[in-house]
Amino acid sequence: MVMLSKENLPYTRQELSKEEAKKIFSEAGESYKLEILENIPDTDTISVYRQGDFIDLCRGPHLPHTGKIKFVKLLKSSGAYWHGDEKNKMLQRIYGISFPTAKELDDYLEFLKQAALRDHRKLGKDLDLFSINEEVGPGLVLWHPNGAMIRHLIESYWKEQHLLNGYKFVYTPHIGKSSLWETSGHLGFYKENMYSAMDIEGQDYYIKPMNCPFHIAIYNTNLHSYRELPIRLAELGTVYRYERSGVLHGLMRVRGFTQDDAHIICTPEQLNEEVEKLIVFALDMLKHFGFKEFLIYLSTRPGDCVGDPEEWDTATESLRQSMDKLGLAYEIDEGGGAFYGPKIDIKIKDALGRAWQCTTIQFDFNEPTRFDMTYIGADNAPHRPFMIHRAILGSIERFFATLLEYHSGNLPLWLSPVQLIILPITDNQLEYANKLKEQFLHKGLRCEVDARNEKIGYKIREAETKKIPYMCIVGAKEAEKNILTLRRHQMGDLGAMTFDEALSYLRNEL
């Protein structure tokens, strides 16, 4: 790289026809580049970049010349299947980075170090939260007791808040007949992401990739008046989508996951109020988990879409007006909406400046028409309702991973699977430690006793490693005086206090 930098070779962009590009890479024996070219439309212009005798496919842009390459670091190498498919040949992938100054390179390497420490896969293993077992299958999550407790707390809060915001819970099956997925359009447009059909009594059934058709089926069970709307149906529904093994990534990219799905079915007149309430609801919920900075995007109509253009305009304007009324800063993603409706995306910004996708508020003009959804209006005639498909957390798995990485595993006290661990100094204090444990448990705190015959320093270090928020240390003095010594993770000793004082201290944080 030093030699390349000294040579100061220019990067030259050249635009070719598909046939010209195929000729160059065929002569060079570049079979993989030829395969890439085969998947590019014949009418597209192909861009290549030259650097001395080297030529490669690339959209660009590039640096003007190799002289700009000053400080370089090879980060890692790994094997990667072509197209992420384990049936294809494994290739070698080499990762590297370059910066114009040493400081910028050092800053980036520190960023990578911090990101590695926050990696939810490492934290999941260190804190015994979840695992993915090859015998069970790639992309299928096993929740361990501590992880399951955190998930339970997330879901309990989610349910509580949805009840307060006028949602009605539903439960739906994990499989559905092929006719359901034909009506919804999934078999026509989404089949490559669905698992193979199961033959049940001569009828094909598919495991569900989405919850939407089931919620619509519930709505269509009865005839609805405009007086009943809006109807808000919510479910923590587990779905399954095929992902190539090469793209699976911890909890962020899995094959089976639970979505916090809800569908709001309303009249045009109710649209603005529903969207506004929904945005406030989403931001309030995310803030409760400790998130503070958000990036918001409004995605508008793409060139190829379904639905009435007037409905698109009405829905897009409703999203825009709601955010303007709430004084929210947002970016417009022109043409970035799904083919079936405009949407709002809310991303979380973490301490390292990374953005994580969470909330999606999505209009759907496709499914209501396909399933012939109607309500009876004030004119006693049937009308097509607006349907808002929204997920506040996204998927429980991805949200869980985001939460872990955002907090570096140091979860808020209310979310910690074990909030307090009691550490007796010797076996002589075990009886008193267990008595304290029962008292804390009966007051609603999640508490354990470390009864192992280990030195107190070792127990404290292990509790710190496990990121348990509070430690309660009891020795002979504490047992005799019926008190305890409280210690906070990463902060240290908080002093001796009575049970009631400790309880009050903990509850103040909750």
Model pLDDT for residues 376-415, shown as the tens digit of each residue: 999 999 999 999 999 999 999 999 999 999 999 999 999 9
270 catalytic residue (yes or no) = no
301 assigned to active site: no
- Output the pLDDT for position 350: 78
Residue where a domain stops, chosen among 375, 406, 437: 406
- From the list 389, 437, 459, 487, the catalytic residue is 389
Q: Is the pLDDT of residue 171 over 90?
A: yes
The predicted structure's pLDDT at residue 146: 97
Do 239 and 277 lie in a common domain?
Answer: yes
Together in a domain, 229 and 339: yes
Q: With beta carbons less than 8 A apart as the criterion, state whether 216 and 262 touch.
A: no
Give the tokens for residue 23: 């000729």
Could you tell me if residue 181 is inside a domain? no
- In this structure, are 391 and 302 located in the same domain? yes
Active-site hit among 232, 301, 343, 390? 343
Distances (CA, A) of 474 to 66, 423, 481: 65, 6, 10
Q: Is pTM beyond 0.95 here? A: no
Is position 259 annotated as part of the catalytic site? yes
Reply yes or no on whether 83 is catalytic: no
Could you tell me which of 433, 368, 355 has the C-alpha nearest to residue 394?
Answer: 355
Q: Average pLDDT, whole number, for the chain?
A: 93
Residue carrying structure tokens 């690339």: 58
**Does residue 134 share a domain with residue 94?**
no
Alpha carbon distance 344, 319 (integer Å): 7
Quick: pLDDT tens for 251-264: 999 999 999 999 99
Residues 479, 366 within the same domain: no
pLDDT value at position 62?
Answer: 86
Q: Give me the number of domains the chain comprises.
A: 4
Judged against a pLDDT cut of 80, whether residue 84 lies above it is answered with no
Please tell me whether residues 345 and 463 are part of one structural domain: no
Q: What is the CATH number of the domain that holds 158?
A: 3.30.930.10
Same domain, 51 and 136: no
Query: Are residues 373 and 241 part of one domain?
Result: yes
Spatial distance between the Cα atoms of 371 and 179, rounded to a whole number of angstroms: 12
Point out the catalytic residue in the list 120, 151, 259, 260.
259
Q: Where are the beta strands (DSSP E) in 379-419?
A: 382-383, 386-395
Under DSSP, is residue 494 helix (H, G, I), strand (E, B) or coil? strand
- Buried/exposed code over 12-30 (b: 16+ C-beta within 10 A; e: otherwise): eeeebebeebbebbeeeeb
- 455 is a catalytic site residue: no
User: Partners of 206 in the beta sheet?
Assistant: 176
Give yes or no: residues 238 and 380 share one domain.
Answer: yes
Of the candidates 232, 255, 261, 419, the residue annotated as catalytic is 261
Cβ atoms of 118 and 408 within 8 Å: the answer is yes
Residues 341 and 261 occupy one common structural domain = yes
Cα distances from 43 to residues 38, 55, 61, 69, 251, in angstroms, run 12, 22, 21, 35, 39
From 263, 398, 459, 467, active-site residue: 263
CA 402 to chain centre: 6
Our answer to whether residue 261 is catalytic in this structure is yes
Phi-psi category of residue 216: left, alpha or beta, with phi > 0 → left and psi -120 to 50 → alpha? alpha
* Domain of residue 12, CATH code: 3.30.54.20
Q: Please state, as a whole number, how many other Cβ atoms lie within 10 Å of the Cβ of residue 440.
A: 22
Q: Do 301 and 425 share a domain, yes or no?
A: no
Domain enclosing residue 83, as ranges: 77-111
Distance CA 402, CA 357 (A): 9
- Considering the domain architecture, whether residues 293 and 425 belong to the same structural domain is answered as no
* Residue where one domain finishes, among candidates 347, 371, 406: 406
449 half-sphere exposure, CB direction, 13 A CA radius: 21
Q: Does the annotation mark 343 as catalytic?
A: yes
Residue 295 — very low, low, confident or very high, per pLDDT cuts 50/70/90?
A: very high
Which of the following is catalytic: 215, 241, 255, 459? 241
Q: Which of 121, 212, 447, 459 is catalytic?
A: 212
